[in-house]
Structure 1
Amino acid sequence: MDLDSKQRVLLAIYTEYQKDIPTMEDITAEALELDIEVFGIAVEKLINEQMINASPKVVERRGLSKQRIEDVNLHGVMMSAKGLEYVEQKLSIDQTLSNKEKVDKVMESAGNWGWEQIKDIGTKVLAEMAIKAVGI
């Protein structure tokens, strides 16, 4: 399965969402190895399609005609019910799985697709979950 940029951004947000306290601002164009313009437009589409809940101000545009994307900050972004349902249906993730099991499933799928960036995000999320579980 080939993922387009919008699906990559959504999967990254979904993975981060599984943490007790998500830090969505860690999801960046650089982390996903996407051009800032591509990343910003993907985020705008996800907002427009109600896959994520976010302020339209998440994407900052500059220039005379406000066409150039200058910055994207996902602080405060959350998955919507529609976005959760889409990802879980697309990846055949049982809604009753634990958050850790859901991240494992995303990482397994990403490995099958050869998408290293989401595996990196998933590994970081799992490490943070483990640290929180042992109370460090």
Structure 2
Amino acid sequence: MDQIEFNPLFPIGGKNDAFAQYFTGQSYLKMLTTERLSIGNVTFEPGCRNNWHIHHKGGQILLCTDGRGYYQEWGKPAKELHPGDVVNIPPEVKHWHGAAPDCWFTHLAVEIPAKGAFNEWLEPVSHEEYAQL
């Protein structure tokens, strides 16, 4: 990792092995807190992205802190993300997020608490879809 180009604000944490099956490429996860609200620092190597997924009932907020990445809702064009960007993901919206092909990317993932909330992991973002960024 080139520290000149990528100097993360929060600790990167370990390889995100628990969720590796839902990612294309390598990601890292450092849980910052699980008290009252779950906030994870998620770091994506260049080209890494998570599968399409849906947050049922609770939703999620992404606080972009480092690098350059993308967020895309099903049926809509992808949005480029930079440090300081905030993405409010309502419940029941199919989407994905991850790094640009040539840049590391980090965001804080804030899970919105709700009774019965859960994530539904879906198909990977295809190489063809990702190449259209």
Q: TM-score, normalised by structure 1?
A: 0.26
The structure with the larger Rg is: 1
Considering fraction of residues, name the structure with more strand: 2
Higher helix share: 1
TM-score by length of 2: 0.27
